């Protein structure tokens, strides 16, 4: 599933880059047309009335180009890859959720009707980390309850690690996105000071370009970090919920097996 989401992310990134390239190609004739129109005299009211509403996608493309395709592309890559990993984790965790009350009831019933082997079949037919932990515990039942409990704890740690797989990459993109934005800000400020030095003037027109790039890259990086942070916290909450279920149900399994051993 991870490979599928990585391919999907790459395709989305290529499509976005193609749109940006077409927007850059169309920008030059649009600017020429704007200059021709600007030559004709017009009142402020006429200009306001004639100004068309810019679509959101076109506005985003314009800001992307104004912020500098280099840094903005890196920030978009962080967003696309971070979202792909986040969606993959959310789907994985959703499939990992198990009705633990029903599972423990089914295992207890299977133990009464067919013993350990039938209980194993119930666990094999149930998806999720809880069922896998149960199966590992039942595999070592003949070695005693203490061994079962140790195996449950050990395999529970393995399952917890699998639930958290990929989170380090998401947190990396959360950290990198605003850092790239701030780096773009610093470079924009340097460009502004270079323009001041070249012009020998500190008028707003001289520094506006560099300052604009600086602000756009910072905003883009912070927005990407905030979006990914929401997904990251949601994933952590789901992992915590599943982990609590695993610990609760593991205790229940030990109790059931102890009761089953005392009946024999």
Q: What is the pTM of this model?
A: 0.71
The pLDDT of residue 124: 87
- The three-class DSSP label of residue 41 is coil
pLDDT at 44: 43
- pLDDT < 50 positions in the chain: 4-5, 10-11, 13-51
Which residue's entry shows tokens 């399952």? 159
pLDDT value, residue 61: 56
Determine how many CB atoms are found less than 10 A away from the CB of residue 154: 11
DSSP sequence for 222-240? HHHHHHHHHHHHHHHHHHH
- Return the pLDDT at 86: 94
Residue 104's closest CA among 123, 118, 121, 124?
123
Residues in the chain: 264
CA angle 229, 232, 235 (to 5 degrees): 150
Predicted pLDDT of residue 88: 93
Q: What gap in Å lies between CA 53 and CA 63, rounded to an integer? A: 16
């Amino acid at each position: 599933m991870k490979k599928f989401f990585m391919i999907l992310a790459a395709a989305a990134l290529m499509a976005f880059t193609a749109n940006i390239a077409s927007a850059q190609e169309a920008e030059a004739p649009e600017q020429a047309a704007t200059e021709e129109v600007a030559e004709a005299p017009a009142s402020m009211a006429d200009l306001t009335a004639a100004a068309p509403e810019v679509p959101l996608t076109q506005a985003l493309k314009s800001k992307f180009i104004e912020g500098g395709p280099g840094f903005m592309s890196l920030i978009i890559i962080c967003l696309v890859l971070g979202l792909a990993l986040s969606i993959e984790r959310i789907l994985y965790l959703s499939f990992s959720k198990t009705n633990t009350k029903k599972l423990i009831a089914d295992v207890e019933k299977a133990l009464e009707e067919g013993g350990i082997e039938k209980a194993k079949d119930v666990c094999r037919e149930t998806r999720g980390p809880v069922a896998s932990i149960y199966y590992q515990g039942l595999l070592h039942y003949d070695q005693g309850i203490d061994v079962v409990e140790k195996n449950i704890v050990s395999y529970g740690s393995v399952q917890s690690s699998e639930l958290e797989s990929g989170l380090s990459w998401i947190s990396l993109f959360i950290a990198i996105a605003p850092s790239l934005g701030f780096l773009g800000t610093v470079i924009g400020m340097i460009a502004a000071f270079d323009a001041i030095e070249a012009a020998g003037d500190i008028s707003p027109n001289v520094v506006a370009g560099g300052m604009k790039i600086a602000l756009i890259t910072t905003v883009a990086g912070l927005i990407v970090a905030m979006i990914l942070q929401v997904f990251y916290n949601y994933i952590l909450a789901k992992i915590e919920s599943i982990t609590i279920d695993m610990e609760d149900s593991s205790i229940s399994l030990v109790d059931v097996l102890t009761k089953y051993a005392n009946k024999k």
